[in-house]
Amino acid sequence: MTLQATDKFATKAIHAGEHIDSHGSVIEPISLSTTFKQSAPAQPIGTYEYSRSQNPNRENLENAIASLENGKYGLAFSSGSATTAIILQSLPQGSHAISIGDVYGGTHRYFTKVANAHGVDTTFTNNLLEDLPSLVKENTKLVWIESPTNPTLKVTDIQAVSDKIKSLNKDILLVVDNTFLSPYLSNPLNFGADIVVHSATKYINGHSDVVLGVLATNNKAVYERLQFLQNAVGAIPSPFDAWLTHRGLKTLHLRVRQAALNATKIAEFLASNENVIAVNYPGLPTHPNYEIVKKQHRDALGGGMISFRIKGGAEAAAKFSSTTRLFTLAESLGGIESLLEVPAVMTHGGIPKEAREATGVFDDLVRLSVGIEDGDDLLDDVKQALAAAAN
C-alpha cells in the first residue's frame, strides 16, 4: 500500500512500513536470517546482505518511525541508551554539548561518565532558552532537550530554542527526546529539531516486553553518519524485537490517548488533595508552560506521565508507592499497565543530590506512568494509597 500525504496518524500507524511478502502475508513475517544469498560475488539477490547492516523487520520499523515523526529517515537501535550513545559518538572529539538539567538519569550518566571519556564535554542548564547564548562555545555541536522532562514534566518551547540556535549562525544540532509523548502527541521535527529520539521500550512498543531505541531526522548527512555508526558499532535490535515494536506501534494512538485521558483525571485529583505539595502534569492549565503545550501537543493532551510531591517526605513517598493495588512499583514507563516509582532512589538515584534537587527531583517526588486500565479504578487506587501514606 502506498500512503498518501493526506493520510492521518492512525492510518499511518497501521500501514507505514508494511511490506507484503511473496506469499501475500498481511502481517509481515519475522526474518531471523543473519545472512542473505548472493547470485555472484558482491551481487545480493535482494536488498539485504547481512542483518547487522540491515534486516527486513528493522527497515520496516525504521520507515514507520520516520513516517509518524514526519521525517525522511529513521533508525532503530538496541536501546534508547544506545541511540543516545550513537548520537554523541557522532560528534567530533573535543566537542561541547548543552543539555537541559532535568533529564533521564541514564542520559545524565552517559553525558557525565561516558561521553566525557571520549572528549565530549557537557554543560547542564535549568533555563535553556535564557542561558543558551552565554553557554555556546566555539566547539558547541549539540543541544539536548527532553520535553516534557523526566521526571518533573517541564515543557520546552522547541521552536524558540531552534530559532535561537539558528540566530547564532553555528553548526549546532538540536536533539529532542520525545519519549514521554510519543509521535502521536508531538512531532519535534515540525518545530525545528534536527533529530528526534525515543526509548521505544516505552510508549512506541507499549507492552513492556522489548528494549529498543529509535530516532528520526530530515537531515540526510546526519542520517548517513548515524547509519554508518549503527552498522559499525553494531548497536542494533534483533529482528524479533523490531517486529514486536512495529506491532506495538500500530495501536500507539489508541493507547496514548487513553493513557492521557486517565492521567488528566488523576492529575486533577492530585492537584486538589491536601496531602500533595505540588503536581507536575503538562495537561493541567496551571502548568507553567501550558501555552506551549497547546502549541506542541496534539489536542493539548498532557500524556500519560505525572509526578507529584507528597507530604511526609521520603517515608510517605515510599509508603504510597508500596500501598497501591493497580500501580506496580517498577522502573520504566509507557506500557499498557500502570507503574510508579520514586525517582530520587530509583531512576535518578545516580545523580548527586544537589544536582538532582536543583532540577526539582526531591526525596518526596513520586512518578506515575498511567496505563490504560479503567480510569476510575486507577483513581480509586491513588486515593487509597494517599490515605494510607497520610496515616
Same structural domain, 143 and 13 = yes
73 given a catalytic annotation: no
**Containing structural domain, residue 222:** 9-248
pLDDT of res. 81:
97
**Catalytic option among 177, 363, 364, 381:** 177
177 given a catalytic annotation: yes
pLDDT of res. 2:
84
Q: Is residue 3 part of a domain?
A: no
52 given a catalytic annotation: yes
**Catalytic option among 202, 255, 309, 356:** 202
* pLDDT band for position 21 (cuts 50, 70, 90): confident
Question: How many C-beta atoms lie closer than 10 Å to residue 275's C-beta?
Answer: 15
Distance CA 387, CA 282 (A): 25
Residue that terminates a domain, selected from 248, 277, 304: 248
pLDDT of res. 347:
86
Asked whether 390 and 276 are in contact (CB, 8 A), the reply is no
CATH number where 282 lies:
3.90.1150.10
Name the residue among 104, 135, 138, 105 with its Cα closest to residue 122: 135
**Catalytic option among 48, 52, 225, 319:** 52
Number of domains in the chain: 2
* pLDDT band for position 118 (cuts 50, 70, 90): confident
Same structural domain, 133 and 259 = no
pLDDT of res. 209:
97
Same structural domain, 277 and 237 = no
Same structural domain, 240 and 298 = no
Q: Is residue 258 part of a domain?
A: yes
State the average pLDDT for the chain: 96
Percent of the chain with pLDDT over 70: 100
Same structural domain, 164 and 242 = yes
Same structural domain, 272 and 187 = no
Same structural domain, 86 and 108 = yes
Q: Is residue 155 part of a domain?
A: yes
Same structural domain, 258 and 226 = no
Asked whether 369 and 338 are in contact (CB, 8 A), the reply is yes
Same structural domain, 210 and 279 = no
Same structural domain, 53 and 180 = yes
pLDDT of res. 26:
85
| 3-state secondary structure labels for all residues of 101-160 | CCCCHHHHHHHHHCHHHHCCEEEEECCHHHHHHHHCCCCEEEEEEECCCCCCCCCCCHHH
Q: Is residue 363 part of a domain?
A: yes
Q: Which residues are within 8 A (CB) of 329 and not within 5 positions of it... i.e. 6 or more apart?
A: 321, 322, 339, 340, 341
Residue that terminates a domain, selected from 248, 282, 311: 248
298 given a catalytic annotation: no
Same structural domain, 148 and 265 = no
pLDDT in tens, 187-241: 999 999 999 999 999 999 999 999 999 999 999 999 999 999 999 999 999 999 9
pLDDT in tens, 256-273: 999 999 999 999 999 999
Distance CA 155, CA 389 (A): 29
Distance CA 201, CA 207 (A): 8
pLDDT of res. 236:
98
Cut 0.85: pTM above it: yes
**If residue 183 lies in a helix (H) or strand (E), which one and from where to where?**
helix 182-185
Q: CA of 292: how far to CAs of 119, 148, 227, in Å?
A: 35, 11, 33
Residue that terminates a domain, selected from 214, 248, 282: 248
CATH number where 39 lies:
3.40.640.10
Q: Is residue 279 part of a domain?
A: yes
Q: Is residue 1 part of a domain?
A: no
Same structural domain, 171 and 149 = yes
Asked whether 380 and 293 are in contact (CB, 8 A), the reply is no
* pLDDT band for position 280 (cuts 50, 70, 90): very high
pLDDT of res. 196:
98
Name the residue among 337, 336, 348 with its Cα closest to residue 307: 348
* pLDDT band for position 350 (cuts 50, 70, 90): confident
pLDDT in tens, 61-94: 999 999 999 999 999 999 999 999 999 999 999 9
DSSP 28: P
**Catalytic option among 58, 73, 104, 194:** 104
Q: Is residue 53 part of a domain?
A: yes
Q: Is pLDDT above 90 for 274?
A: yes
SS3 10: helix
